[in-house]
């Protein structure tokens, strides 16, 4: 763990980190979010029976769009040229959950963790939005970084 927070200067004021001296490397990050709902709602989503349409198609596009907008949403994030963003869904009918997994890839001077986390979160929010007409009590939890690679710190995995 770092000795100090990189986004705070010596006075404690927030600032954007200067990454100009870093080497560009391929960087990849994977994040996930868990969406919990009733079995009946999950069945409707999986079978494409909700009035708003294709839950997972809409959530996939929303997650990709969110990754591309991360520096507009998170104040101190650097705008990054994204090489790829992948959003996938794993349905667990027994637990009545959907795991949203987002992977973001770039070749840049700084990591792409925030893009992956933003993508997973917005995709999960879109699942909620698509399903809320039939169930208001859907829960989104466990938004977390799973893995990151690239840069001087190498590979980190949960």
CATH code, domain with 64: 3.30.70.640
Residue 154's pLDDT is what?
87
pTM as predicted: 0.91
Q: Looking at the domain assignment, is residue 4 inside a domain?
A: no
Q: Looking at the domain assignment, is residue 3 inside a domain?
A: no
Q: Looking at the domain assignment, is residue 6 inside a domain?
A: no
Q: Looking at the domain assignment, is residue 142 inside a domain?
A: yes
What's the gap between Cα 133 and its chain centre?
24
Do 87 and 122 meet the contact criterion of CB atoms below 8 Å apart?
Answer: no
Q: Chain-wide mean pLDDT for the chain? A: 92
What average pLDDT does this structure show over 36-55?
Answer: 96
Q: Looking at the domain assignment, is residue 17 inside a domain?
A: no
User: pLDDT tens digits for 52-84?
Assistant: 999 999 999 999 999 999 999 998 899 999 999
Number of domains into which the chain is organized: 1
Q: Looking at the domain assignment, is residue 68 inside a domain?
A: yes
Could you list the active site residues?
129
DSSP state of 81: -
What pairing do the DSSP bridges indicate for beta strands 82-92 and 25-36?
Answer: unpaired
Helices (H), the chain: 39-46, 55-73, 113-131
Domain holding 122, by residue range, is 25-150
């Amino acid at each position: 763990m770092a000795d100090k927070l990189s986004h705070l200067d010596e006075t404690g004021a927030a600032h954007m980190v200067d990454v100009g001296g870093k080497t560009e490397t391929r960087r990849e990050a994977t994040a996930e979010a868990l969406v919990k709902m009733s079995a009946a709602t999950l069945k409707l989503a999986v079978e494409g029976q909700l009035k708003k349409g294709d839950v997972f198609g809409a959530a996939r596009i929303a997650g990709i769009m969110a990754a591309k907008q991360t520096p507009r949403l998170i104040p101190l994030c650097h705008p990054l040229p994204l090489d790829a963003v992948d959003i996938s869904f794993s349905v667990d009918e027994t637990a009545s959950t959907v795991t949203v997994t987002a992977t973001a890839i770039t070749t840049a001077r700084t990591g792409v963790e925030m893009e992956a986390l933003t993508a997973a979160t917005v995709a999960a929010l879109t699942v909620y939005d698509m399903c809320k007409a039939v169930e208001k009590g859907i829960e989104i939890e466990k938004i977390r970084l799973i893995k990151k690679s690239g840069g001087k710190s190498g590979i980190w995995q949960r």
